[in-house]
Each structure stands twice: as structure tokens, then as C-alpha cells.
Amino acid sequence: MKAIKLVAILFAALSLTAAAGDLPALSHGLTAHAAKKPAPPLKLKGIDGQVHDIAALRGKVILVNFWATWCPPCRREMPSMEHLARKLRGENFAVLAVDVGENVDTIETFISQLELDLTFPILLDTSSKAMQAWKVSGLPTTFVIDRKGHIAYSAIGGREFDHPEIEQKLRDLLKN
């Protein structure tokens, strides 16, 4: 009985979803940025051992997502990001998921629990310096970068990234 309770506590500790009661709904709004501000640099090692540089993706629409495994809305929105990536496969579109402050083992444990394989790279911001450079003050925070390297949209809090409204916004950016 004690072992069952311990497992339950550990599960809750990893996700804290049980603490969220009836979970806050994920939204699908994106905040438009009219100012055409250039995206900050982003060059980090991924869990695949490769270095990923956002500069090498110029010309693509890029979704940059700052997240961590302990963050409940981050965990909830991750499958929708993968669905979006699959919907836009073959287009000039890329996803970069930047994990903040965690190690490869922790991230891979989380990924292995997902029902689908992630096809986009996961970058390691172990010191949270990239997060600070992008002026992120909470997780998850997401940016959409247009083909010219400007921040086109942002979103604070969990989103349903495969929602038709978000997909349409990205398809519109891909046309420009």
C-alpha cells in the first residue's frame, strides 16, 4: 500500500498535473507582433548531440518553443506541436523545442512516455541563458519567426498548436 502511495506521489511530482485540479484549457490564440523585431540568436546543442543554429533555418517559418518536462502545459501541448509539424511537413517550416535547465536523461524519459515520436529537434538550454536572451519569463512560451527572421507571433502559456486557426496563421506566413 505504501509503495502504491509512493508511486502516486512520484508521478504527481513529475507532472504536477494532479495539483492542477480540472486543468486549465489550452488556448489557440497567438499574439501578432507588428514591430518586425528580429529574433535573437539561438544556437544550442540538441539531445541528438548536434548543434542547432536558428540562423541556418533562415527562409523558413520557425516555431520556437521554450519548455521543460516539469511544466504541465508544456507537456500537454507537445503532441499538438508534433501534429502541426507533421501537417506542415514538406513546407518551409521548422520547430525548435528548447528545454530549459534539464538533462538529456530527464528529457528522454518524458519523450519515451509520449504516444508519438517527435520529429523536431530538442535543444538544451541548461543554463537558461537562451531563455533570458529571448526575454522569456515563464514556461511555456512560444515564438513564431517569419521567413525573414522576424518575430511574427508569440504565445505565453499552453496552446493547441494543431488548431486550424494557428495552422492557418502559419500557412499565411509561409506564403509571404
Partner 1 sequence: MLVLSIWITTAYATQYSHDPGTGLETWQVEADGIQVRLTQIGSEQAQAFYQARGFSVDNAKYYASSCVFMTVVRNIGDATIEHRLSDWRYVPDGGRPRSIRSKREWGKIWIQRKVPESARIAFTWAQFPNTQSFSPSDWNQGMTTYQLPPGARFNLIFKWREDGKLRRGEIDNVRCTDESH
Under rule CB under 8 A, which residues in 94-113 are in contact with partner 1?
100-102
Q: Take residue 9 and report the three cell numbers written for it.
A: 506521489
Q: How many residues bind partner 1 (CB under 8 A)?
A: 35
Q: How far apart are CA 114 and CA 139, in angstroms?
A: 19
For residue 151, the cross-strand partners are 145
Please state whether beta strands 61-67 and 93-100 pair in parallel, antiparallel, or not at all (unpaired): parallel
118 contributes a contact to partner 1 by CB under 8 A: no
At its nearest, how many Å lie between partner 1 and the CB of residue 138?
Answer: 4
151 contributes a contact to partner 1 by CB under 8 A: no
At its nearest, how many Å lie between partner 1 and the CB of residue 12?
Answer: 5
Amino acid at 83: H
Q: How far apart are CA 69 and CA 75, in angstroms?
A: 6
Q: Take residue 45 and report the three cell numbers written for it.
A: 546543442
The binder of partner 1 chosen from 45, 83, 128, 167 (CB under 8 A): 128
Return the number of the residue (72 or 94) whose C-beta is nearest partner 1. Answer: 72
164 contributes a contact to partner 1 by CB under 8 A: no
